[in-house]
A and B are shown apart, each in its own frame.
Chain A
Amino acid sequence: MFSCPKFGWLASHPGKTAILVCLITVLFLVFPVTDISAQKRFSQTFPAGQNIRLQLINRSGTVTVEGWDRQMVSVTASLEAPTAVITPQTIDGTILINLVRDNQGREVGNVNFNIRVPVTSSVDIETLIGNLTVSNVRGGLVRAHISSEGDIELTNIAAFQVTAQNGIGDIFFDGEMLSGGNYRFASLRGNINLRIPFTSSFKLVATAPSTRNISLGSFSNGGMNYLGDGRRVVGKFGDGNSTLSVTNQRGSISFIRR
Chain B
Amino acid sequence: MSDRFSMTCGDCQELLSRFIDGDLEQERSGIVIEHLAVCAECTVMCDDLSAILVQCRESEVGEEVPPNPAALWRRINNLIESELPAEIPVEPERKGLFARGWNLTFSQAGAAVLAIALISSLLTIVGIRHYFAPPGDDISLRNETPSVFTRVLRKVGLAETPQQARDRRFREQESAIDYWNKRVQTRRASWNARMSEAFDRNLFEIDQAVNEYTMILQNDPDDQLSEEMLDSALNEKMNLLRQFSEL
Contacting residues of chain A (191-249) with chain B, CB-CB under 8 angstroms: 203-205, 207, 209-210, 223, 225, 227-228, 231-232, 234-236, 240, 243, 245, 247, 249
Whether B205 and A168, one on each chain, are in contact in the complex, defined by CB atoms closer than 8 angstroms, is yes
**A105 beta carbon closer than 8 Å to chain B:** yes
Contact with A along B173-198 (1 / 0, CB 8 A): 00000000000000000111011001
**A124 beta carbon closer than 8 Å to chain B:** no
Number of A-B contacts (CB under 8 A): 99
**B226 beta carbon closer than 8 Å to chain A:** yes
Whether A147 and B239, one on each chain, are in contact in the complex, defined by CB atoms closer than 8 angstroms, is yes
Whether B225 and A231, one on each chain, are in contact in the complex, defined by CB atoms closer than 8 angstroms, is yes
Q: How large is the interface on B (under 10, 10 to 19, 20 to 34, 35 or more residues)?
A: 35 or more
Whether A129 and B198, one on each chain, are in contact in the complex, defined by CB atoms closer than 8 angstroms, is yes
Whether A227 and B140, one on each chain, are in contact in the complex, defined by CB atoms closer than 8 angstroms, is yes
Whether B140 and A234, one on each chain, are in contact in the complex, defined by CB atoms closer than 8 angstroms, is yes
Whether A149 and B209, one on each chain, are in contact in the complex, defined by CB atoms closer than 8 angstroms, is no
Compute how far the CA of A235 lies from the CA of B136 in the bound complex, rounded to whole angstroms: 6
Tell me which of B202, B223, B246 contacts A100 (CB under 8 A).
B246
**A95 beta carbon closer than 8 Å to chain B:** no
Given A188-B206, A203-B136, A149 contacting B243 (CB threshold 8 A): no
Whether A167 and B136, one on each chain, are in contact in the complex, defined by CB atoms closer than 8 angstroms, is no
Interface size on A, residues (CB 8 A): 37
Tell me which of A100, A149, A223 contacts B135 (CB under 8 A).
A223
**A59 beta carbon closer than 8 Å to chain B:** yes
Whether A209 and B247, one on each chain, are in contact in the complex, defined by CB atoms closer than 8 angstroms, is no
A192 to chain B, nearest CB (A): 15
**B63 beta carbon closer than 8 Å to chain A:** no
Contact with B along A94-122 (1 / 0, CB 8 A): 00000010001111000000000000000
Given A205-B136, A227-B143, A100 contacting B247 (CB threshold 8 A): yes
**A189 beta carbon closer than 8 Å to chain B:** yes
Determine the chain B residues whose CB is within 8 A of the CB of A189 once the complex forms: 205
A151 to chain B, nearest CB (A): 13
Given A227-B225, A234-B140, A250-B208, A188 contacting B247 (CB threshold 8 A): no
| Nearest B-chain residue to A244, judged by Cβ | B137
Whether A147 and B135, one on each chain, are in contact in the complex, defined by CB atoms closer than 8 angstroms, is no
Tell me which of A106, A223, A249 contacts B232 (CB under 8 A).
A249
**B199 beta carbon closer than 8 Å to chain A:** yes
Determine the chain A residues whose CB is within 8 A of the CB of B236 once the complex forms: 167, 188, 249
Compute how far the CA of A223 lies from the CA of B135 in the bound complex, rounded to whole angstroms: 9
A188 to chain B, nearest CB (A): 5
A246 to chain B, nearest CB (A): 11
Compute how far the CA of A148 lies from the CA of B204 in the bound complex, rounded to whole angstroms: 11
Contacting residues of chain B (225-245) with chain A, CB-CB under 8 angstroms: 225-226, 229, 232-233, 236, 239-240, 243-244
| Nearest B-chain residue to A59, judged by Cβ | B247
Given A148-B201, A249-B233, A203 contacting B225 (CB threshold 8 A): no
| Nearest B-chain residue to A110, judged by Cβ | B194
Whether B205 and A234, one on each chain, are in contact in the complex, defined by CB atoms closer than 8 angstroms, is no
Given A100-B246, A228-B225, A247-B232, A188 contacting B209 (CB threshold 8 A): yes
Contact with A along B149-190 (1 / 0, CB 8 A): 000000000000000000000000000000000000000001
Whether B201 and A232, one on each chain, are in contact in the complex, defined by CB atoms closer than 8 angstroms, is no
Whether B247 and A148, one on each chain, are in contact in the complex, defined by CB atoms closer than 8 angstroms, is no
Compute how far the CA of A209 lies from the CA of B142 in the bound complex, rounded to whole angstroms: 15
Interface contacts beyond A129-B198, A147-B243, A227-B225: sample of 14 additional A-B pairs, CB < 8 Å, sorted by A: A100-B246, A106-B190, A128-B195, A129-B194, A148-B202, A168-B205, A188-B206, A203-B137, A205-B140, A207-B225, A228-B225, A236-B135, A245-B137, A247-B232
Chain B residues near A (Cβ < 8 Å): 134-137, 139-140, 143, 190-192, 194-195, 198-199, 201-202, 205-206, 208-209, 212-213, 223, 225-226, 229, 232-233, 236, 239-240, 243-244, 246-247
The 4 A-B residue pairs with the shortest CB-CB distance in the complex, in nearest-first order: A234-B140, A205-B137, A234-B136, A167-B202
